[in-house]
Structure 1
Amino acid sequence: MAHETEKTWNSAAGHSTMEIEASKPSGHGVVASGLSPLSETLWREKASLEIVGDVSARLTWKDLTVTVTLSNGETQKVLEGLTGYAEPGTFTALMGPSGSGKSTLLDALSSRLAANAFLSGTILLNGRKRKLSFGTAAYVTQDDNLIGTLTVRETISYSARLRLPDKMSWSKKRELVESTIIEMGLQDCADTVIGNWHLRGISGGEKRRVSIALEILMRPRLLFLDEPTSGLDSASAFFVTQTLRALARDGRTVIASIHQPSSEVFELFDQLYLLSSGKTVYFGQASDAYEFFAQAGFPCPALRNPSDHFLRCVNSDFDKVKATLKGSMKLRFEASDDPLEKITTAEAIRVLIDSYRTSQYSYAAREKVEEISKVKGTVLDSGGSQASFLMQSFTLSKRSFINMSRDFGYYWLRLVIYIVVTVCIGTIYLNVGTGYSSILARGSCASFVFGFVTFMSIGGFPSFVEDMKVFQRERLNGHYGVTAFVISNTLSAMPFLILITFLAGTVCYYMVRLHPGFKHYLFFVLCLYASVTVVESLMMAIASIVPNFLMGIIIGAGIQVWYLHASLWVLQAPK
């Protein structure tokens, strides 16, 4: 039963009166404004309010069209005339074959469209047209970009320090972390490392739940997920989907694109939005999809997975497969009562789209969108991360330092190689002396050392790429900014670079017996440190632009060759 209340909220900026509508979605026994005590505490911290009213999220989209500009200058419609809604307490699944527009719709609703995509239509959050802010809406990507050397508890704890207010005590933060771990069913693996190339860690399903846990830490009211079950086995996919449904039952609005759900997973959906070629095939209760397809002339066979049947009806690739098999004459088609055997899939898609446009489901969806849009609900704006810049920089530096110290391939392996090679160079130029006749040998030795040490910095590129993936995910979700990341990465790497250059430089300097005196020695190792730092910064910059390992290493090596050319020109410049 719906009821409307009106409250006056006082904010630091001034006084404003907002209409708050607390409704209960039809067909579910979940109050939309229902918050767990921990969620209520966190939202009170965010809004600086003594009373927390309805902070639920009602999202509507009407006549949504997305046009993409191609590289040749032409335009293409990716989505066309979509209308729908998502209410608190419900789990909405976006389904369709590959290329149908699921991810584009998700990006459009979450304000994450690419620069070459243009959106038309209306998207409203609680009846207001506004861009979704960090913290209000969370987005879980398809890839689990996590730091492999940290445990599950450490990963979530560092995320809490990065985003929760400084004034919030650590005991409350720890309570929030532990409740999130329990909510996502991660108790058994809380102290297990995520895992990387040399550390065996948690399973794929557990990684996916960790990714979700990181985004629900701030208790967002609107949660987007891009194919959360892809790459998981049936049991893990069911567990993840069951967890998402439980999150929705806490009063959240959950929207996820799902590629190929099992029958058990399909039964967990509240609403289904089925797409084909960017157009709406069906939107409504997932349980009513059977009736709609039957009315359109494509009933689901008794022993077939309903999601497989629906996707079979709207995937035009099946026409190509059938034509190929018939052309090969290796498959004999037997008579069947299946309507899809009598017409092409393209014709079936046209029938389904036309049936939906004139159906009661389309009419009910538009009526519901108009009803929700008229109610001006709460302005949900949590402002993103609540932590100060100093806290973010400190936390990132500490996390990065721990990651570097635990990852054997980050700096430790390079340190061993540096020492071994500088010992070899030292034996070649052993006791070369400082006489006039040894000037050329000393120059060659310095060129070997500086050239080798700087070129070995390329070895850290794969680790830089992984760091950039984590940074891009966290930055897009509003965890912190670019400045904090750059400062923390520089500070955390400094001890390792100093250790590498001083050990390698010391071994070489005293084996070769270069100029005696601490000033000469210090100048040598500081020049070595400066050279390594420049190349490390170069490789990090390349990693932010070129995420491909091979191309990044080639580009980095090419730029360093130009560095060497410049230094050789300076050495041999005419006097």
Structure 2
Amino acid sequence: MAIMGPSGCGKSTLLDALAGRLSSNARQTGDILINGRKQRLAYGTSAYVTQDDTLITTLTVKEAVYYSAQLQLPDSMSMAEKKERAEMTIREMGLQDAMNTRIGGWGSKGISGGQKRRVSICIEILTHPKLLFLDEPTSGLDSAASYYVMSRIARLDQKDGNRRTVISSIHQPSSDVFQLFDSLCLLCAGKVVYFGPASEANEFFTLNGFPCPTLQNPSDHFLKTINKDFERDLEQGVEDAFTAEAAINTLTKAYQSSDNYQQVKRLATEICKKNCGTLEERSRSSFGTQCLVLTRRSFVNMYRDLGYYWLRVAIYVLLALGLATLFNNLGSSYNSIQV
């Protein structure tokens, strides 16, 4: 499912609320139900990929995913099984050719931006979560890289047979990327403008007086119609029957009276009546294993990072030599100190 809308409409806030990651100073109303029950997301059943990549630049792709596998997967799995899970996940995201390439950062050349996004996704799907949250997974990528990343995510179900629900906030996807989504949630200023099958969104806009122009990307048309941050310049002779505010009100009311809205309410009621059971928390590695893996990873990072470790050693050595030269043959009496 794609969550779309203009900047500041509440995409990331909605995603954080569904994932249980809202800040403590945020106020939330309403209930979030999982399988019709009010319960928390158990460990290992969900994963969240943030918009910014937080990766250790000195590690290779294989090392980054393998260390994460040792930290997340339970001790009941052998080291060979964890390594196999890590390599399988890397292959799922099409990173097998970059397994031995360092991630890289500002000081060293590494993998591309699209590959970094896929590494972040690899780390999160190691536990085979049933629910995957993605916050702007195509941010900073060109159209080709965006399509490649999202197509890999869409094909995850076909790789290992584990059905996953993917919820992604995305900003102005290309037409090829938009076609990969099954459902669309269109927001504007916290209001739901449309929620239903992505393939029916164009028809919904057309029936309510906002048809998509020929040869134009439907997602661009949706965002342009409900964006009220930049009103059209009427002095240039562009006259429109509806302002952005009127368009939003028209589409919002139309959605609330549509069959999709009634179908969503019926489906939610049916799910609440079913006894789907609670989510069981998956086991994880022990505290001792986590300490050992983190210590080993820290030493590898310090050894390879010239600025983090070796440059500091050089500075400390030069500082010690300077102080030793300054106070050389000072003597050990009180008079020598005064002099």
**Common fold by TM > 0.5:** yes
Q: Quick one: distance in 1 between partners of 2:238 and 2:86?
A: 58
Give the distance between the partners of 2:237 and 2:316, measured in 1 at CA.
67
Alignment partner of 1:333 is 2:270? no
In the alignment, which residue of structure 1 is the partner of 2:71? 162
- Rounded to whole Å, the distance in 1 between the matches of 2:281 and 2:110 is 34
Which stretches in structure 2 are left out of the alignment for 5+ residues?
Answer: none
- Residue 269 of structure 2 is matched in structure 1 by 370
Aligned to 2:300: 402
Which one-letter code corresponds to 2:289 in the other structure?
M
Match of 1:62 in 2: none
1:402-434 deviations in Å (ceiling 9; x for gaps): 101111111211211222232222222221111
* Residue 291 of structure 2 is aligned to residue 393 of structure 1: yes
Matched to 1:307, the amino acid is S
1:248, distance to aligned residue in structure 2 (A)? 4.6
Q: Give the 3-state SS of the residue equivalent to 1:272 in structure 2.
A: strand
Map 1:202-221 onto structure 2 (within 5 A): 202-221=111-130
Q: Partners in 1 of 2:163 and 2:67 — Cα distance?
A: 26
Larger RCO (alpha carbons 8 Å, 6+ apart): 2
Task: Measure the CA separation in 2 of the matches of 1:334 and 1:277.
Answer: 25
Give 1:228's aligned residue: 137
- Using the alignment, how far apart are the partners of 2:211 and 2:157 within structure 1? 30
Q: Deviations over 1:140-172 (max 9, x none)?
A: 110100000000000011011112122311111
Tell me the amino acid that sits aligned with residue 289 of structure 1. Answer: A
Aligned to 2:255: 356
Q: Which residue number corresponds to residue 335 of structure 2?
A: 437
Per-residue deviation at 1:115? 1.2
Q: CA deviation at 1:94?
A: 0.4
* Aligned partner of residue 67 in structure 2, secondary structure: helix
Q: Does the aligned pair in 1 maintain the 2:36–2:268 contact within 8 Å?
A: no
Contact kept, 8 Å, 2:39 with 2:278, in 1: the verdict is: no
Letter in 2 for 1:96: G
2:227 matched residue in structure 1: 315
- Give the match's secondary structure for 1:386: coil
Which sections of structure 1, spanning at least 5 residues, go unmatched?
1-91, 327-331, 336-340, 442-575
CA distance in 2, matches of 1:381, 1:271: 27
C-alpha spacing 1:226/1:189, structure 2 compared with 1 (3 Å): same
**Structure 2 partner of 1:287:** 199
In 2, are the aligned partners of 1:248 and 1:254 still within 8 Å (CA)?
no
- Secondary structure at the counterpart of residue 30 of structure 2: strand
Change (3 A) 1:264 1:418: same
Which whole-Å deviations, capped at 9, do the CAs of 1:44-102 have from their partners, x for residues lacking one? xxxxxxxxxxxxxxxxxxxxxxxxxxxxxxxxxxxxxxxxxxxxxxxx11000111111
Aligned twin of 2:190:
278
Cα gap change, 1:423/1:306 in structure 2, threshold over 3 Å: closer, same or farther?
A: same
Structure 1 CA distance, aligned partners of 2:294 and 2:238?
63
**Secondary structure in structure 2 of the residue aligned to 1:259:** coil
The answer to whether the 8 A contact 1:312-1:318 is kept is no
1:57-96 maps to which residues of 2 (within 5 A)?
Answer: 92-96=1-5
Letter in 2 for 1:108: A
User: Are the aligned partners of 1:273 and 1:282 in contact in 2 as well (CA < 8 Å)?
Assistant: yes
TM-score norm. by structure 1 comes to 0.57
Is 1:413 matched up with 2:322? no
Task: Give the deviation of 1:210 after TM superposition.
Answer: 0.5
Take 1:286 and 1:372, find their aligned partners in 2: how far apart are those partners?
Answer: 22
Pairwise mapping of residues 145-544 of structure 1 onto structure 2 (< 5 A)? 145-249=54-158, 250-319=162-231, 322-323=232-233, 326=235, 332-333=236-237, 341-383=240-282, 386-440=284-338
Structure 2: how far apart are the matches of 1:230 and 1:373? 36
Deviations 1:18-58 (A, max 9, x none): xxxxxxxxxxxxxxxxxxxxxxxxxxxxxxxxxxxxxxxxx
Q: Distance in 1 between the 2:35 and 2:241 partners?
A: 46
Partner Cα distance (1:298, 1:123) in 2? 33
Distance in 1 of aligned mates of 2:188 and 2:284? 41
The Cα shift of 1:198 comes to 2.0
SS of 1:122's partner is: coil
Query: Counterpart of 1:450?
Result: none
Which structure dedicates a bigger proportion of its chain to strand?
A: 1
Structure 1 CA distance for aligned equivalents of residues 193 and 338 of structure 2: 77
Distance 1:223 1:197 in 2: 29
CA distance in 2, matches of 1:352, 1:428: 78
TM-score by length of 2: 0.95
Distance, in Å, in 1 between the alignment partners of 2:25 and 2:321 is 54
1:371 to partner: Cα distance? 1.9
* Alignment partners' CA distance in 2, 1:138 and 1:440: 65
Distance 1:248 1:127 in 2: 23
Quote the Cα distance in structure 2 between the aligned partners of 1:107 and 1:376. Answer: 26
Shift of 1:435: 2.2
Match of 1:466 in 2: none
Per-residue deviation, 1:334 = 5.3
Structure 1 residue 382 displacement after superposition: 2.5
Decide which structure has the larger Cα Rg and report it: 1
Deviations 1:498-526 (A, max 9, x none): xxxxxxxxxxxxxxxxxxxxxxxxxxxxx
For residue 367 of structure 1, report the CA deviation from its aligned partner: 1.4
- Is contact 1:166–1:388 with CA below 8 Å preserved after alignment? yes
- State the identity %: 54
Q: For 1:436 and 1:121, how far apart are their aligned partners in 2?
A: 76
Output the CA distance in 1 between the equivalents of 2:55 and 2:61: 10
Report the Cα offset of residue 285 of structure 1.
Answer: 0.4
Once residues 183 and 129 of structure 2 are traced to their aligned partners in structure 1, the CA distance between those partners, rounded to angstroms, is 20
Distance in 2, Cα, partners of 1:251 & 1:360: 27
